[in-house]
Structure 1
Amino acid sequence: MMKPIVVLLVGLLAWSCARKEPTGAVDAPAVTPLVQVAVYDTEVPEPSGLAYDPRRNVLMTVSDANSTIYDLDFTGRILRSFVVDGSDLEGIALSPAGDTIYVVEERNQLVSMFSAGGTKFFSFPVKVASNAGNALEGIAVDKRNHLFIVNEKLPRLLLEYYRGQEVSRVEITASIDLSDVFYEEQTNHLWIVSDESKKVMKMTTSGTLLAEYSIPFTKGEGITIVQDKIYIVCDTDGKLYVFQKPQ
């Protein structure tokens, strides 16, 4: 009777050693390419940041070359432009009421607020970068008027602010840099574009990565979503790229 018992014990020991215990690690989502549907030239020098005004049905971008805010149609044509009191403009967002334009100034590490006509209200500092050349890059606003701000790198940060005060911050490790952020009201998610990583990341507002999508160029500096299309502006060639939004 001893031989069958010994064989059973040896078998159980071998199974126990071979069985892998769960590590608790979560696999990163697969990176899939966005489907490009159109590309348009704009006459905006070094466009950076992108927002959508649903009341006027126009896109909005800024130029860090000339401190100007531009209204664009969906083919990149300039409809209106006005110079504002600021420098090194990088990101742009519009308040839910449509009465306040938020812009980030990278080297000054400021968030500045303007009227719809370009009159400056005030600014507040967001000094989180260790290098002023890799500082604030993008901004978005949710329905509660909370601001989501991305710092390019050193460190790569997603920050949440309310009434000029920091609410939270999280370091983003899924990309080389962060270039702009868009808040999607329907899902309460964020979409972040990375210039150097050539991709778009879908995240929760607390920074949890949900999905990743590749794009075929660097210098994607602004992102917004209108219905089923993703719009991205490229800083180097001044083009407006249009992609199909993934389901």
Structure 2
Amino acid sequence: MRRSVRLPVLLGLAALLLAGLAAQEFRLFERGWFNLKQWWQPAAQGIGLDRYQVVLEAQPVEGLDDDLSALTYDPDRRTLFTVTNARSELIELSLEGRILRRVPLTGFGDPEAVEYVGPNTYVITDERQQRLILVRLEDTTPFLDAADAEQLSLGIGLNGNKGFEGLAYDSAGRRLFVAKERDPMLIYQIHGFPHRDPKQPYAVHVVQDRKRDARLFVRDLSSLQFDERSGHLLALSDESRLVLELDVEGKPLSSLSLRKGYQGLQATVPQAEGIAMDEQGTIYMVSEPNLFYVFKPLAD
């Protein structure tokens, strides 16, 4: 009789332990508390990601079957750029998700992110080797060779394909944000790259904010976007199906869910890999292997 009572108790304790471990892994308590605060008292100075609705959902990028990775907005061309790493290319997209141009990449290893940093100038990451590669793209550029480009190798906590996954650039503060995907999940701030003044010595300063990173109740980082208007950072997590808005101190302010039934989505975004934002605050997103999304805020 004693054994029959003890077995259900042990099974119950094991279930509670597993539930606790799952909650810790998925940061359910932190996310639940954040959602409660958002509902009770929305952030007044935030972008308000919860107000966004999808206006273009899961549109295939025609002519592309490879894995799209990352996204950046070019305000000069008023187009988007992404990269593929299966067959390394830099690809220019219209704001409607149509391919405008394909530029082959040579010697870039595992290109995982691209970021606009100035007219005709972009930074591309090599995820595995943790290289940042500065490229210049003219209308007549037939291909890009990493051997001809300015490069910065960091080699911080090398961890296979869980390396540099996302980029964002603050043009006013001249800061390049670099996201390490996970194990551990980190966001670095890099000052001094790209090198702006050839007359000055080359000096790179890398800053970490572990307090901010500890507030990120997401499982991984897929992409970043810096909003010049507010000075806030958007962090995209594929595994958590979430976009987080972080203020200047790294505090989460609002979120955009990528799950079915939220933000007007008819289906969950399967594998979100890149996020970009234009001057009007429209959010563009790509998902592997070749899906394109557009989100816009609801009118007040």
- TM-score category (smaller protein): 0.7 to 0.9
TM-score by structure 1 length?
A: 0.82
Indicate the structure whose relative CO is greater, using CA pairs within 8 Å and at least 6 residues apart: 2
Residue 167 of structure 1, CA deviation? 2.6
- Which residue does the alignment assign to 1:41? 60
Identity among equivalent positions (%) equals: 27
Residue 242 of structure 1, CA deviation? 0.9
Deviation string, structure 1 residues 196-236 (Cα, Å, up to 9, x no partner): 00010101244221112211223110001122421110013
More helix by share: 2
Distance 1:205 1:47, change over 3 A: farther
- Which residue does the alignment assign to 2:149? 121
One-letter amino acid matched to 2:287:
C
- Which residue does the alignment assign to 1:136? 164
One-letter amino acid matched to 1:36:
V
Q: SS at the partner of 1:28? A: helix
One-letter amino acid matched to 1:93:
E
CA distance in 2, matches of 1:34, 1:130: 36
Q: Return the index of the structure with the highest Cα Rg.
A: 1
**Is 2:181 the partner of 1:145?**
no
> Which region of structure 1 is more displaced relative to structure 2, 215-224 or 117-126?
117-126
Question: How much is the aligned-residue C-alpha RMSD, in angstroms?
Answer: 2.3
CA distance in 1, matches of 2:96, 2:86: 21
**Is 2:203 the partner of 1:160?**
no
**Structure 1: gaps spanning 5 or more residues:** 1-24
- Which residue does the alignment assign to 2:276? 224
Distance 1:114 1:192, change over 3 A: same
CA distance in 2, matches of 1:109, 1:57: 29
Of residues 80, 83, 93 in structure 1, which corresponds to 2:115?
93
Q: SS at the partner of 2:56? A: strand
More strand by share: 1
Contact 2:129 2:158 in 1 (8 A): no
Residue 54 of structure 1, CA deviation? 1.1
CA distance in 1, matches of 2:248, 2:174: 14
**Structure 2: gaps spanning 5 or more residues:** 1-29, 40-49, 139-143, 193-203, 259-267
Contact 1:129 1:153 in 2 (8 A): no
CA distance in 1, matches of 2:92, 2:185: 29
CA distance in 2, matches of 1:205, 1:108: 29
Contact 1:70 1:82 in 2 (8 A): yes
CA distance in 2, matches of 1:53, 1:186: 16
How many residues are aligned here? Answer: 221
> Which region of structure 1 is more displaced relative to structure 2, 149-158 or 84-93?
84-93
Contact 2:170 2:226 in 1 (8 A): yes
